[in-house]
Every structure is written in C-alpha cells, then in structure tokens.
Chains A and B, each alone.
Chain A
Amino acid sequence: MQNLLLLLAGYIFYAWADFRFLSYLVGISLLNFYLGMYIEKTTNATAKKWLLYAGLLQGIGGLMYFKYFNFFISSFKSAFQSLGINLNVHTLNIIIPLGISFFTFRTISYVIEIYKEKITASRDWVVFFTYVSFFPCILSGPIDRPQKLIPQLEKERVFNNSQATDGLRQILWGLFKKIVIADNCASFTNNVFDNFHTIPASALLIGAFFYTIQLYADFSGYTDMAIGIARLIGFNITRNFNYPFYSQNIAEYWRKWHMSLTSWLTDYVFTPLSIALRDYGKAGIIIAIIINFTICGIWHGANWTYVLFGFLHGCYFIPIILRGTLNKKKRIVKGQLLPSPVEFVNMVATFLLVMFTLVIFRSESIGQAFQYFGSMFSMSIFTVPSLSIFDIHGSKVIIIAFFIFLMLIAEWLQREKEYGLQISNVKRSFLRWGIYYGLIVLILVFIDKQETFIYLQF
C-alpha cells in the first residue's frame, strides 16, 4: 500500500540521517498510537486526563532530557558556582535525536486533539506512524496538525500533473534560496560572527543584515523543498512562511514566520494561558505573550541566547497590546506595485527589530551577543569596510547582495502567491522556462559549498 511504502521510505531516510534514534522514533509512535486510542475509549474523565498527561509527559519529558538536560545541569552548576558552591553533578553525553523538536510536537498535538474530541484516534498504525515521521517534514517541519495530514494519508493519492509540476517549481525555488542565497551569505556571516572583535562596526551591521536574510533563505528554502516534495507525492502540507519581511509589525511578522510553530504555540500555549489570565486585562495578555514567546525561543535550543531571543519578541508585543491597535491590521493593498512610504518604514522597522534579536540568536552566548552590539554601536560604524575582511572575493559580496535583492523583489511581487516561484500564470512558456533554467544554472554554479540546514539543529 502507498502508506507502507511512504513509511518505509521515511524510516530509511531517517535511519540514513541518524539510525541511532530510529528506535526512539518508532517507540514514541507506538506509545502515542495506543495512548490515542485509550484516551478516546476511556469514559472516566479523570482517567482521560491522566492519559493525556502521560502523553504530554512523554513528549515534553523526551525533549527535556535530550535537548535540555545538559543545559539545566550546567546552568544549575554555574548558578551555584557563583555562590561559591561546587556541585558534583555532571553533564551526560547526550546526543539529540534528529527532528525531535518537530515530531514531538506532532505527537503532542495528536493526543491533545483526541482529548479535546476534535479528532478520532487513528486505527491504522501505518497511517499514524507515517503522520509522525512524514519524511519530507521530519527533519525540520512544517509541523502538520493531525486533522490536516491524517485524512490525506487515509485517502489514496493519485498522480496529478499540475500538482507535481507545482511541487517541482517549489523545490527549485527552495534550492535557489538555500544554495544561492543562504549558503553564500553563510560564508561570510560565519566569518563575521567568528571574528567580530576585529571587524569594523559597519561590517558587523552588514553581517547582521546578511544573517537575517540567510536564516530566512535557509529555513524557507528548506520548507519550500519539503512542501514541494510532499506535493510531488500528492500531499498538501501546511504553510510555514508568508513573506514575513513585508510585515508591518511584530504581530504580523509572527503570523508569517515559521507559521506552523506559531500556530502550534498559539493553540496549545498562548490560548490556554490567556484564558487563565483573562481577569488581569492587558497585563494578563502581556504575560501570556511573553511566556509564549519565551517558550518559542527555548524550543530552538538549550542556550540562554534562545531564551533571551524569545523573551525579547514577547516584549515587542507590549506596545501593540497596550495601544490596542492590534485589532487594526494595516494591510498592504493587493496588487499595489510599491508600498507606501509609511508601509515601507514599518517594514524596515519590523525587520530591524527582528535583526537585532537574530544577532543574539546567532551568538554563542549572551555575553558574546552584547560584545557584538558593543562593537557595532561604535564610531567605526562609519568606516567603509574593506571587502577583503569578508575573506572572500570582493565581487562575490556584490553578487550575493544582488541575488538577495532579486529574491526580495521577486517575493514582493509574488506576495499573494503561495511561494515565490508560483509562475504558472505567466503565459509565455519560454519566459517561464527561461527563469527555471536561469535558476538551475545559478544553483549549479554555487552548489560546491555544502552547508547544512540551520534548522536541522533544532
């Protein structure tokens, strides 16, 4: 059957990437499969609740252990050390299973939705196991909800030419963003972040800008490929990006960046929190948002930089919540060629807010991030950096900047489409094919650099 093939392919793919944790993946799939059925069958309300807790404990517990145990130990240790006490606790040699942050969120969503009686438990283990380990998405998402993916798995997929073509186009676009833009940006953001004490402030600013673009191109590029591959095999995966850099405020940004994670957190963290705190008015909403985004930050990994990153984003919402203008969406008019000056300023301001937090996100430690900022906000910001400090050919920086510009313009013009290269409406086929071949050539030119996906580590 189609699903069995898909499941086996998925497991081979996962094992090839990291065979040690295949057993963990299969194990938690089995556990949650049975938990789902028991939660549904049990009529006793207390028993139901405890079964749900078991599922949550397994998921969150697994994440805590694999991702955060060492972080807790070393943070604990240094906290006591600052008081002069030396604890005899040791970090363990823990390796993180690939994709754990993503597939754990799928299983948690599954048990919660069954508990809420929003879906029925799957009776087909092949369907369920495939839902958990769906190979295009297993490494770095998008995080599909069960109600979106399981019904698709239960139906037979028939090859659809236009859907497959769409998938191929999206894969091509993703490859372009990843190989031509993200990897090239990486070659000098790595240099900038590794050597920031010796680099003039203007270069640090450019480094921060390029890193922000790099993160977007890398992650949205990967996502386009994942969604494209899924399309090829007949699946409709949830979207993850909606051109976030054209957002006019931070609320809009998070509705358009890593959408499947934001929506997951909104449903399972923010909503219950905001309901519980609703008697405290705006303060309640603010606290809920800050907790929500701090968790979002921590989800990325075991480092205080991620905690600060998330916390800052939560704080960015405060003016919006206080002003009460969060209900007024400043939408950019459809089909408008250029943004208005106000809209443009808003977009730049939002971008800068994000860019600031990404320096922290990228840094090895908070201390380092602040050193970066210290160096950046200094007089050398007016020094024009010599391109040799970027350790690569001067002309290459210009070329990369050109491609970034190209990508931004292309995605701006295509912002009502699902992905940047959705050009099926372009009538002249030679024009479409010209663009495809152009992109392929570019990809082949730059493909020698092999950088892993940034979000693989989360």
Chain B
Amino acid sequence: MANTEILKKVNDIFIDILDNEEINLNDNTTADDIEEWDSLSHIQLVVAIEKYFKIRFTSKEIQSWGNVGDMLATIEAKLKSA
C-alpha cells in the first residue's frame, strides 16, 4: 500500500473511533492537535488499526511513536514484511 493510501485509511479509522468528521491527519499530527485523542482513546485507535491492517505492533513500537508519521512508518514496514 502506498503511504498516502495508508494515511487515508488511518484517517478514516480516526474519524470512526473518535467520532469526529473533521479530522485531517498529516505526518506531524500529534495527540495535542486532536481533542478526542487521549490515552483512553489511543489504545482503541491502536486496536482498530491492527485489526484493519491485520498487523501486530509490539509494545515498544507503540510507545515509540511521537506523531502520526511515526505510526504510518511502522504500519508500512509491517505491511512490507508481511
């Protein structure tokens, strides 16, 4: 999957889980930018992403993400190696 496609899918997941149509993610988006994105919703987002892409993150990977770009990079790497 191309990076832009991954971003689009992740964006859809965010819109769905956080119940906010106006979300428009980019590589630099962080939890500070989106009101609904906190530690409680974060784990739901991770689970939804894992389910959708049929991948599994390690705890270390999840905790290493600083922004959406980091997340996308990990997703891409997982899909490539799958």
- Interface on A for B, CB 8 Å cutoff? 116, 251, 255, 266, 270-272, 274-276, 278-279, 281, 284-285, 289, 321, 326-329, 331
Sample of 21 A–B contacts (CB below 8 Å) = A116-B64, A251-B40, A255-B38, A266-B39, A271-B39, A271-B43, A272-B63, A275-B62, A278-B47, A279-B47, A281-B47, A284-B43, A285-B40, A321-B40, A326-B38, A326-B40, A326-B41, A327-B18, A327-B20, A328-B19, A331-B35
Counting residue pairs across A and B whose Cβ atoms lie within 8 Å, the total is 47
The SS class assigned to the A binding surface is helix
Residue from A251, A278, A328, A331 in contact with B43 in the complex, judged by beta carbons closer than 8 Å: A278
A284 to B43, CA, bound (A): 10
B-side contacts of A275, CB under 8 Å:
43, 46, 59, 62-63
User: Which residue of the partner chain A has the closest CB to B37?
Assistant: A327
Contacting A at CB under 8 A, from B27-68, are 35-36, 38-44, 46-47, 59, 62-64
The SS class assigned to the B binding surface is helix
Given A116-B63, A328-B36, A329-B36, CB of A274 within 8 Å of CB of B43: yes
User: Which residue of the partner chain A has the closest CB to B35?
Assistant: A329
Distance of B36 from chain A, by nearest CB (Å): 4
A327 and B43 contacting across the interface, CB-CB below 8 Å: no
A327 and B19 contacting across the interface, CB-CB below 8 Å: yes
- Chain B residues touching A, range: 10 to 19
B-side contacts of A270, CB under 8 Å:
39
Distance of A316 from chain B, by nearest CB (Å): 13
A328 to B17, CA, bound (A): 11
User: Which residue of the partner chain A has the closest CB to B39?
Assistant: A266
- Counting chain A CB atoms within 10 Å of each CB, the highest count among B20, B35, B44 belongs to B44
A285 to B44, CA, bound (A): 9
Given A326-B40, A327-B41, A329-B36, CB of A271 within 8 Å of CB of B63: yes
B-side contacts of A251, CB under 8 Å:
40
A289 to B62, CA, bound (A): 18
B-side contacts of A271, CB under 8 Å:
39, 42-43, 63
User: Which residue of the partner chain A has the closest CB to B20?
Assistant: A327
